[in-house]
Amino acid sequence: MKNILGVILIVALLGISVLGFIDNRDNKEPVLAEVADVEVEEITDYGDIRIESDTRVGTVVDVEDLDKVLKYLDPHEKQNYQDLLTVYASYLPLCATDKPSDFFSSNIKLIGNYLGLYSIEEFTSLNDLLKSKDITPSSKVSKVQLVNIHQSGAFLEATVRIFYDKAYITMSHVLDYLYVGNEAYLFLYHKGGMVE
């Protein structure tokens, strides 16, 4: 009898611990999700809220036909290009804000860093394009397709199709491989979208 009571006591203890752990997990995960959602909501609703550090990019985005770039860049830079495309495609929907002027002036530096976009005219045009495609700040990128890439003088000009939850957009950008002393930098600059 004592044996059975001991076993029941310990199993109960174990059960309570496991339940506590599960409860603990449930409490933690939403904390992250909640912060991320609030941030996106703030960016959408208030132009004076700055974009915070990465909250959108979890893993590298799949890019179809990425090998086209190997004609112009070495394999290491191909990976670098995929990373840049991931950041570009992931952050692009944030530009579908309801207050483009306020949003742009509040985030001009980060918009330059993430998207290589520096003018209010380009930003407004992008904002219109995203809205016309029903892309919202909460849209998540599912994949990118490299439509074409070619060399023009010192630059590579590329067109990509970016697929979000319900829609896709076709965007152009310029890649510049810049040497500063012995250090090489690959930069991606937004060059507008195409209405299809």
Residues near other proteins, by CB under 8 A: 2-3, 6-7, 9-11, 13-14, 17, 21, 24, 28, 31-32, 35-36, 52-55, 57-60, 79-80, 82-84, 86-87, 109, 112-114, 116, 118, 152-155, 174, 176, 178-181, 185, 187, 189
Cα angle 148, 152, 157 (rounded to 5 degrees) comes to 35
Give me the least distance between CB of 179 and other proteins, in Å please: 4
Least spacing, CB of residue 185 vs other proteins, in Å: 6
Nearer to other proteins among residue 86 and residue 106 (C-beta): 86
Nearer to other proteins, 116 or 133 (CB): 116
* Cα(14)–Cα(150) distance, integer angstroms: 63
Closest CA to 149 of 141, 140, 158: 158
Q: How far apart are CA 75 and CA 23, in angstroms?
A: 46
| CA gap 138, 92 in Å, rounded | 10
Closest approach of Cβ 160 to other proteins, in Å?
17
